[in-house]
Chains A and B, each alone.
Chain A
Amino acid sequence: MIKNNRLSNEQYTANFSDIHPPFETKDAALVEANRCLFCYDAPCTKSCPTGIDVPKFIKQIATENTKGSAHTIFSSNIMGAGCSKVCPVEKLCEGACVYNLMEETPIHIAKLQRYATEIAMQKKWQLFQRKPSAGKKVAIVGAGPAGLSCAHVLSRNGIDVTIFEKESKGGGLMTYGIAAYKVTPGFCNDEVEYILGIGGIDVKYNMELGKDITLAQLKKEFDAVYLGIGVGVARQLDIPGEKLEGVVDAIKFIYEIRANGFSTVPVGDKVAVIGMGMTAIDAATQAKRLGAKEVTLVYRRTEAEKPCTDVELDIARLDGVEVIWLAAPQKIKGAGGKVKQLVCSVMQLGQPDASGRRSPVDTGETFTLDVDMVIKAAGQVPYEKLVGKLKIQNSKGKISINENCATNIKGVFAGGDAVNGGKEVVDAVQAGKDGAAAIMKFLKL
């Protein structure tokens, strides 16, 4: 049965409390900061998509120059506070820490980054000053990580920015698409406000491209346009039964948890989650934490090919989520219009596909899971229709850009998930920086 309000308020609070707690004290942060070797041309920095100078910011924590530390982080990544909570650091900075090669625990880089950035946000340190006005105006569509990052760089350089955001809050998938035990809605709000604190960035909420505003309008009123529109709904499974009541989109499911509150979101007794990416993990763990009795992750390849990290999978497993490898959904059976069973094909691994991973091949065998809810998390689909309508060159909805972040339309730039089809927040932040640099070049600044 699918129903909401399964747990007490105390249970919800406990289940959705911060999964990566901060340092309890300054002393604890200093002990960890002093453990850092201060590497040269550091592997951690090289493994950060935004290239944060990690040894420098950690050294600055150690010398109690917290303001300098926060400045170092935000100079490279204006969402450094959020990224410290949501980055899969085990495959980025912390995964590259040289301590791993000594079989020692890597430096807790994310935790230290959170330490410095949280103090900066709490104290409302504005660490950047806008240059004098350059007399230029840029429109940005989407107040997600790419858009905010682009806006901040542009504003620093004296450009007036207007962001058009279709939701009522900024932050994009950071605000709407990540498990609540990683970042709270309150934090996301604070982070957006902190970024906007520099001034010169006007955000117009509830304004959707193609509905409330047109690209032609933006092109006319602004000197350049940056599209950071992200990606849309979850990929369709294209199997029978997909329209049954109880089949939901993981992004929508997570959005509701974040937008409406834990007790309002209905969840089944027995839930199957299709996919094995970060979003699948976030959906599965949160279904369990909302009170589902059984949650099963269903993935068509093996553990070796999974897109999520070991750390993420461990979170799900520790929550009691079951995992079935080499299983592809074949059909969803229902009764009275409601989900009753998920039938899966048993797969085996064949030849490597375009991703280099061995592709799953149907063995012809099937098995059936009794479920009352199916959450689809097999990737997200770009806004193919919208992009097509705007006459922007694209590949299956993913916007095509050149080395200068420019689309085929002059003065229109793009970046982030809308271009790459969906990556980490930190990748989108870098895309925003690249976009801003390209726009400044275009504006001859």
Chain B
Amino acid sequence: MADISSNFLGIKSPNPFWLASAPPTDKKINVLRAFEAGWGGVVWKTLGSQVKNVSSRYSAVNFGAKKMMGFNNIELISDRPLDLNLKEIKESLKLFPDRAMVVSLMADNDKKSWHELIKKVEDTGAHGLELNFGCPHGMTERGMGAAVGQDPEIAKMVVEWVMEAATIPVITKLTPNVHSVVPTGKAVVEAGTNALSLINTIQSVTGINLDTLVPNPYVAGKSVFGGYCGPAVKPIALKMLTTIAQNPVTSKVPVSGIGGVSTWKDAVEFMLLGASNVQVCTAAMNHGFRIVEDMIEGMNNWMDEKGFKTLDDFIGKSVDKITHWEDLDINYHHIAHINQDKCIHCGLCYIACEDTSHQSINIEYGKPYNTYTIKEDECVGCNLCQLVCPVNGCITMEEHRVAPEYLNWIEFQKRGLPLNDH
């Protein structure tokens, strides 16, 4: 059995699965249920400024029969009394001393407010602080949340305030509602943050009710942009995470990965791209805390199969596998192959290739089943057919190198090799 215990800036947890700062970590009752279910840690829902929530807070994007492929919310930070939250944090810590307890913070925009809040939270015995510079709705209009994270100078200033007062590790949570997360990431690392976490939610409109013509979520005939999350945002989060992991400044601090983590596989992917642990929200909101059981077992089994003994053995292992386009090997070529024994004759590969790609699939009409074969000379190896094929392993991409040696774009140009020759 692999050891999946995690040590994030000295904050220890039995596994790398934390619940993100969000409704599931709003109260002691939720947090205790999460710990009982096996979660390694929580980031307590953001404390700070005084707020009032509206009714009707979530909406979702369904895809086919799958519900909540994407999810958004317009809920603000914790709307419970600060003292109650602090009391419950303390009690939860006492009941589960082996779990990570990080508290998310978003104070009013002045040094004094931040210092007071940090002091109160540290008094609970919490292990770390997470600065919410990412909330994209409601708080931004007061110059908080994403409004801070979107401006590296302001973010830097707030982190400097925080670091003056904080005696426990500080994680700065970044907003994805920017062209690049790197400038703010760099600024806050330079200001002394001990770690980063990303991504917060993405501003979004999930859909419109076609009867009332009011977008979702519906609040008395109106809506607002909500923070988008769930499985749909994972690819965006992974990309942003990679830019942080590859930057010489931001890569110096540990990162907590967030954004559509739903399974052990997702968690492994975040960690391969440099995250030391992951935070989960939507998947738990969709299915309950019990999902952590398979996350723990799945990661463990995968590590055993791959021979990884500890998390550090694989964290960051894929970071250098994402390169610049001009470094890709132009001599690499692969061609689709359709296994006729597995083919079910659905024609999805054919119509995708014929209508939208390179007309590289031959059709031989039959009644009722057509036969599809690859025109090897035409196939550019784009993968589309394999992606649309409903049968696993039916279409394989087989390597047919143009030449044995590595040849990148820069060298290709130097040699004056032919362009636009397809």
In the bound assembly, the distance between CA atoms of A85 and B96 in angstroms comes to 61
**Cβ of A40 and Cβ of B344 under 8 Å apart?**
no
**Cβ of B65 and Cβ of A37 under 8 Å apart?**
no
Query: Which A237-282 residues have C-beta < 8 A from chain B?
Result: none
Give the nearest-CB partner of A92 in chain B: B368
In the bound assembly, the distance between CA atoms of A39 and B346 in angstroms comes to 5
Known pairs A62-B64, A98-B344; A43 contacts B369 (CB<8 A) = yes
A41 neighbours in B (Cβ, 8 Å): 347, 350-351, 363, 365, 370
Give the nearest-CB partner of A104 in chain B: B344
**Cβ of B347 and Cβ of A42 under 8 Å apart?**
yes
Give the nearest-CB partner of A35 in chain B: B65
Q: Is A354 on the interface with B (CB-CB < 8 A)?
A: no
With A37-B390, A40-B347, A41-B363 given, name 20 new contacts (CB 8 A).
A34-B65, A35-B65, A37-B348, A38-B348, A39-B346, A40-B346, A40-B348, A40-B350, A41-B350, A41-B365, A41-B370, A42-B346, A43-B345, A44-B368, A46-B368, A96-B369, A101-B344, A102-B344, A102-B390, A102-B391
**Cβ of B65 and Cβ of A98 under 8 Å apart?**
no
Q: Is A31 on the interface with B (CB-CB < 8 A)?
A: yes
Q: Is A233 on the interface with B (CB-CB < 8 A)?
A: no
23 contacts between A and B (CB under 8 A): A30-B65, A37-B346, A37-B348, A37-B390, A38-B348, A40-B347, A41-B347, A41-B350, A41-B365, A41-B370, A42-B347, A43-B345, A43-B368, A43-B369, A44-B368, A46-B367, A47-B368, A62-B64, A96-B369, A98-B344, A98-B346, A101-B344, A102-B390
**Cβ of A101 and Cβ of B390 under 8 Å apart?**
no
In the bound assembly, the distance between CA atoms of A297 and B390 in angstroms comes to 43
B390 neighbours in A (Cβ, 8 Å): 37, 102
Which single member of B64, B65, B347, B391 contacts A39 (CB below 8 Å)? B347
**Cβ of A101 and Cβ of B65 under 8 Å apart?**
no
Q: Which of B65, B346, B390 has the most CB of A within 10 A?
A: B346
Which 8 residue pairs are nearest across A and B when measured between Cβ atoms? A40-B347, A43-B368, A34-B65, A40-B351, A98-B344, A101-B344, A39-B346, A46-B368
B351 neighbours in A (Cβ, 8 Å): 40-41
A38 neighbours in B (Cβ, 8 Å): 348
In the bound assembly, the distance between CA atoms of A222 and B363 in angstroms comes to 47
Count residues of B near A (Cβ-Cβ below 8 Å).
17
B347 neighbours in A (Cβ, 8 Å): 39-42
Query: Which A1-55 residues have C-beta < 8 A from chain B?
Result: 30-31, 34-35, 37-44, 46-47
Query: Which B51-67 residues have C-beta < 8 A from chain A?
Result: 64-65
B348 neighbours in A (Cβ, 8 Å): 37-40
Known pairs A30-B65, A37-B390, A62-B64; A96 contacts B368 (CB<8 A) = yes
Query: Which B344-393 residues have C-beta < 8 A from chain A?
Result: 344-348, 350-351, 363, 365, 367-370, 390-391
**Cβ of A34 and Cβ of B64 under 8 Å apart?**
yes
Interface string of A130-141 (1 = CB under 8 A from B): 000000000000
Give the nearest-CB partner of A99 in chain B: B344
Return B348 CB to nearest CB of chain A, in Å: 6
B369 neighbours in A (Cβ, 8 Å): 43, 96
Return B394 CB to nearest CB of chain A, in Å: 10
**Cβ of A101 and Cβ of B368 under 8 Å apart?**
no
Return B385 CB to nearest CB of chain A, in Å: 12
Give the nearest-CB partner of A44 in chain B: B368
Give the nearest-CB partner of B370 in chain A: A41
In the bound assembly, the distance between CA atoms of A46 and B351 in angstroms comes to 17
In the bound assembly, the distance between CA atoms of A35 and B66 in angstroms comes to 11
A35 neighbours in B (Cβ, 8 Å): 65
